[in-house]
């Protein structure tokens, strides 16, 4: 059965890895990483889950493959991206103008037309 969006859409979703904000949370909180690793069955992982790259969220068959990956361009690019602090939800809302800054309240009384109020 052909893919709805073309043949390449199947490949892109299959190779999708964890997002940068998820990996950033893994690096700063060991509990978050342990929770991710516990979701996977050890028998289903490459190399029985012994060699894992935290920065790229990938499993490897052997220590040699992990070492070669860590010397590669893809890994180094990912490490460079992870050095930047990820945006928070508050920063994203402020960027599009959804801030809750109401400014200072004025204590001046509001002017009301007496004629409109009397009717």
Q: What percent of the chain has pLDDT over 90?
A: 14
Confidence of residue 71 (pLDDT cuts 50, 70, 90): very high
- Candidates 71, 78, 73; CA nearest to 54 is 78
pLDDT digits (tens, 9 = 90+) for 29-68: 888 778 777 877 777 778 787 888 888 888 888 999 999 9
What does pTM read for this prediction? 0.58
pLDDT digits (tens, 9 = 90+) for 8-23: 666 666 667 778 888 8
Q: How confident is the model at residue 109 (pLDDT cuts 50, 70, 90)?
A: low
| Every domain of the chain and the residues it spans | 17-85
Decide which of 2.60.40, 1.20.58, 3.30.300, 3.30.160 is the CATH code for 17-85.
3.30.160
pLDDT on residue 12: 61
CA–CA separation, 24 and 55 (whole Å): 8
How far is residue 79's CA from residue 65's CA, in Å, rounded to a whole number?
18
């Amino acid at each position: 059965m052909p893919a709805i969006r073309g043949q390449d859409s199947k490949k892109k979703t299959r190779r999708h890895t964890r997002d940068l904000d998820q990996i950033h949370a893994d690096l700063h909180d060991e509990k978050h990483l342990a929770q991710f690793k516990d979701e996977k069955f050890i028998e289903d992982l490459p190399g029985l889950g012994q060699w894992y790259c935290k920065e790229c969220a990938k499993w490897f068959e052997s220590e040699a493959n992990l070492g070669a990956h860590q010397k590669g361009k893809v890994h180094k690019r990912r490490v460079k991206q992870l050095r930047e602090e990820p945006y928070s939800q508050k920063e994203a809302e402020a960027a599009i103008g959804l801030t809750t800054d109401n400014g200072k309240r004025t204590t001046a009384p509001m002017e009301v037309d007496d004629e409109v109020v009397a009717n």
